[in-house]
Amino acid sequence: MALRNIRRQGDEILTKRCRPVTDFNDRLHELLDDMAETMLSANGVGLAAPQVGILRRAVVVLETNTPEGEEYVVELINPEIVEASGEQTDPEGCLSLPGEYGMVTRPEHVKVRAQDRNGAWFEREADGLTARAFCHEIDHLDGHMFTELCDHIMTDEELDAYYGQQQEQEEDA
């Protein structure tokens, strides 16, 4: 496995629509292994193939709705969202725009249909942060960034105010 270079916003490749994956071969497996390693080493919860310069419909997402220490990587090839419900509005960021966040509304719950690394179709449900990551990564496959869905990049003061409030709520609960 190897770390790959993460493309930054402004790189034209991040605006392109990706082609479906058609060959479920060793080359794809190597790409997926490298993407997982690259995502984890950057402390991300999702990464899409175009972010490492590959215009194919493949993403990795870290499932974090688990007991601590038991997070695991989900691979989605040729994914599509087939059901969405509820709503969540929170700061969202991207490994292609490190350190910048914007308030983005996403579904609270999604169901996605995708292929695994061997080409088998499956359906998978996700909630909360994982649902947000599925939507965010699938948007990358169509050349979209989260910055198209928020008014502005949050200032440090706005982020502090948001996370300060969260903490108070948690302390109250």
21 binds Ni ion (CB under 5 A): no
Least Cβ distance, residue 8 to Ni ion (angstroms): 11
Least Cβ distance, residue 164 to Ni ion (angstroms): 25
Q: Among this protein's residues, is 63 annotated catalytic? A: no
Q: What are phi and psi of 104, to 5 degrees?
A: -130, 135
Return the residue matching tokens 């709520």.
169
The contact mask relative to Ni ion for 52-91 (x = CB under 5 A, - = no) is ----------------------------------------
Among 39, 94, 110, 131, the residue binding Ni ion under the rule CB under 5 A is: 94
Maximum Cα–Cα distance across the chain: 52
The gap between the terminal CA atoms of the chain, to the nearest Å, is 43
CA distance 38 to 142: 21
Least Cβ distance, residue 171 to Ni ion (angstroms): 31
CA distance 54 to 98: 20
Q: Which residues bind Ni ion (CB under 5 A)?
A: 94
